[in-house]
Structure 1
Amino acid sequence: MVVLSSLQHFPSFADVRSGLTHKTRQCIWYLPGKQRYCMVRTEASKIDLILELTSQLDDRKSCTLRILSEIAELSCCALHHRNRIWATGLAKSLAHQWQQGLQSDLSETAFESAGAVKVECEHSPRCDTAEGNEETEKKLELVAFSPHIPFEGDTLRSTLLSQIESTASKIGSVYAFTYLDSAFDGMIKIGYTSRSIDLRMDEWADCGHGPPHLLKSFSNVRYPERVEFLTHLQLVKDWHAMRWCKYHERSHIEWFKTSVSAVSQVVQAWISWIERANPYDRRGNLKPFWRGIIDFLSEYEITITAELMVQIQEIEDGTVSVASFIDDELLRKERLDLERVCVKQEEN
């Protein structure tokens, strides 16, 4: 059982607000066991959003508790604690505590302008609305998804260049599944295992959403964990987190709002590239040739994808020509001119 922080451990709203001038603001979640705050920094983009939300507190029509609750969430790191403060209800409790602090600091008139009195607000599962929405709120919080942003250092480039640990599985499976509950419509979980897929599906059934519905599986995959994470990063725009799992007492972040065909295409391409290119040496380091390729693509700001890496390997194999691969008007013109010259020489 994870020991939760108590409200007394969280900073005041004034402290949070004053710290927003620093773009490396620290997560506000307190770790009782370590007697310190989380060391992970809040993303700069989220700090900008917090500042924007803070400015809305002066809007009479805004719902203060909803905004303060969202600020509490965004002030926690996405890596560990943002979903936890939401799921445990601490975000709402902290919002109430902050509101009381604002009430004691401001005059009654100023506080009312900040929205502490009952006002009209948009219906939201995290907003105090009319009575009768409690059941809806509970249902929404049971299964809720939010866009997931990976750790800032996790990119396709950094992952490809990173060493594959010696303890990582050499062979395994990559799978995609969903649950048949309507709350999971359009959502696909992408994972890997070095064990039986059936056993893994049995374990995912523990989450309490019914038996998992296996959509696609790939067996005998080399470096399955690497293939899985590369797939996640390529589908980053579709990446979501299931905010909380009551059984595991944490969020599950490997969900994607996309199609089975899109997942299958990306996974298969990464599998094919690793199988054909054999890009990592026996120590798990990316070979010099592919390091050079990655540096070249980065220098010219060419988007890295599994399909592109497969095409480069096909050029290296000699199965595809460079001219047909590069989408360049000047190259095509030079190629046509060369073909015309060859034709004329044959005619003469």
Structure 2
Amino acid sequence: MTDRRSPLDATHRALDAKMVPFGGWEMPLSYPEGTLAEHRACRHGAVVFDVSHLGTVRVAGPGALLTLQRALTNDLTRIDPGRAQYTHLLDAHDASVVDDIIVFWVGPETFDVMPNASNTEGVTRALAEEAAALGAEVTATDVTAERAVLAVQGPKARERLAQVVPAAARVRRFAVASVEWEGIDLTVAGTGYTGEDGLEIAVPALDAGGLFDALVAAGIEPAGLGARDTLRLEAGLPLHGHELGPGITPLQANLGWVVAWEKGPFRGRDPLEVERDAGPGRRLRGLATEGRRPPREGQPVLRGGETVGAVTSGNFSPVLGHGIALAFLPPETVEGDELAIDVRGTAVAARVVPLPFVDSRASKGASAL
């Protein structure tokens, strides 16, 4: 299948971005300055990511709230219109995470459900199934092609965004608002995936290039998916297909807080209750190694020479200056345990450390992700 292209594809190519396939899309991995420079720019200044590959499913109608409550793990009644919430869609049979999702509550009976790139069709289908089972009056429409999404992230994100769209810069963390820029309607949410403060902006596809150029002109540097991945790894955030996906439940991924047990039935609740009562057979842990040699996905994690798990994500941390990794390990594994990672036949010492690896927002006086 031919990879889909962002509305900003021509803009990225004009900036000499390195384009790569990702989740069925062709997206920028990095720009000429490189991933390390883009990573540091996000930690110390402000960057803009094109995340148009994320899906948008518009769920609307009198039965929208009930449908989402029955489909997803978190409890939308904890928030109100004008807020965003992180949640999971589970497999009905084994409670593994079909997708992790941000929901924007944009109007009294209107929600924008934001799946991961390759999961939009499956999420749309699951929501339609739940609506049909409930007999709910609701529509679930994939509107991904109608907009681009720009993620402006970093400690100076709001300061620099205020030069372009002042109302957008005032949207608080996990709030959602409709604002106007040069007569164009934008949907802005105080969300992101870097561990830094920032906002995500949905802009009509035809207007995306103009907004992107205006942001760059205000000193917000373009950044690609390479930096987005190293940033989220330092922040200890899971990536679907690595720390979430088939065979992985929220409890194994230490994300039990997204499960609202008190709200009643939801998709996958029964098998998840079984695991909750028995206790997960493994849990996600952070590992730190010495030296610059990065751990990589799939490398065995060893205790006393025996394999006890495998790296799900690993890389060199530009902030810490050494290797970091995530791995599912036996539940008795605790912080401070000394393990090893088999890096191409060499046992590299690794210590279990708390997550996040880098608590950047907390150090700048903001609450961590």
Using the size of structure 2 for normalisation, the TM-score is 0.27
The structure whose residues are more often strand, as a share, is 2
Which of structures 1 and 2 has the larger relative contact order (alpha carbons within 8 angstroms, sep 6+)?
Answer: 2
The structure whose residues are more often helix, as a share, is 1
